[in-house]
Amino acid sequence: MNYDAKPVRILYDDAKLKEKIMVGIAGRDATLGITFVNLCYQLLQLAIQEHMLEDPDNTIYTNDEISPEDQVRVSRLLWELIWDRKVFLLFGRSSLLGLSNGEDRFVKY
């Protein structure tokens, strides 16, 4: 068994990743949305469940972040979803967000 502490690469192609992003966003209340960090964490959890990690055999990942390259892909796909009017940025604060209060959030259009 190998332990790996580096950020994790996910293996979804862009179309599947965009679909997973929409699932993560659509599952949230429109007044709260989801932060980028929380969205990336959810994408990682889905990839773990669906065995869509780079080299998952005999590896236990100890990091809960997707790789910087995948963070760029998620960012780019979020912008495509914004341009397509499927997602928008929710600015402002919410008393329900705790530590995430003040972070911009993404919401289904």
Model confidence at 12, pLDDT cuts 50, 70, 90, reads very high
Model confidence at 70, pLDDT cuts 50, 70, 90, reads very high
- The C-alpha atoms of residue 104 and residue 10 are separated, in whole angstroms, by 24
- The C-alpha atoms of residue 79 and residue 34 are separated, in whole angstroms, by 15
Q: Which has the closest alpha carbon to 66: 42, 82, 94?
A: 42
Q: Which has the closest alpha carbon to 62: 42, 38, 44, 37?
A: 44
How far is it between the farthest Cα atoms of the chain? 45
Q: Is the pLDDT of residue 56 over 90?
A: no
Model confidence at 17, pLDDT cuts 50, 70, 90, reads very high
Q: How far is CA 68 from CA 65, 75, 83, 85, in A?
A: 9, 10, 23, 26
Higher pLDDT, 92 or 15: 15
pLDDT of the residue at 33: 87
Model confidence at 64, pLDDT cuts 50, 70, 90, reads confident
pTM for this entry: 0.83
pLDDT of the residue at 98: 55
Q: Which has the closest alpha carbon to 2: 51, 49, 56, 48?
A: 56
DSSP codes, 18-49? HHHHHHHHHTS-TTT-EEHHHHHHHHHHHHHH
Average pLDDT, the chain: 84
